[in-house]
Amino acid sequence: MRRKDRELSAQEGLAIIDACEYGTISCIGEAGEIFSVPISVVREGESVFLHGAPAGSKARLLKDGKSVTLVCVSYAQVPVLTDEQLYAIKDDGKALGAKVFTTEYKSAVAVTKAYAVTDEAARLHALRLLSEKYTPKYMRTFGVAAAHGLKAMNIYELKIANITAKAKIIRD
């Protein structure tokens, strides 16, 4: 990592995965092209779970230990300054670049191996984890939805081999 001053620990990287609204997975497709798609993710231990249709690119690619990179951002914010703060640095190009024309963020990049989850109990568990993260308010109806939905979806596990994380947070 070039900016060591922004480097976070692996544990902080896992927390970023936990907090992200979505991630993006990328891998090399069947014809050597880059396949990249945003997905909903949930983590348990060193594994990240996602779901998808039983046909399509994810179904063809996310199996058999395929190398997949997962990128997650849990925080991204353009700084908000008061008029007084902006006025104080209005003639300082370096300060403007560092405090105004920038983005604060927390991000993680995980190098993973992808596997299709085939065990029915494990599939149900992963779907429950995803549902608890994204729709916790409706878990009382999870059983009915899962009984119907699991028949028409694949569940994938991304086993984390390596994770790096970094953040830029502006301090006054």
Tens of pLDDT, residue by residue over 103-122, are 999 999 999 999 999 999 99
pTM for this model (two decimals): 0.91
In CATH terms, the fold of domain 4-77+106-161 is Pnp Oxidase; Chain A (2.30.110)
CA distance 19 to 113: 21
CA distance 119 to 44: 17
CA distance 20 to 76: 10
**33-76 pLDDT tens trace:** 999 999 999 999 999 999 999 999 999 999 999 999 999 999 99
Share of the chain above pLDDT 70, in %: 99
Average model confidence (pLDDT) across the chain: 96
The full set of domain ranges for the chain reads 4-77+106-161
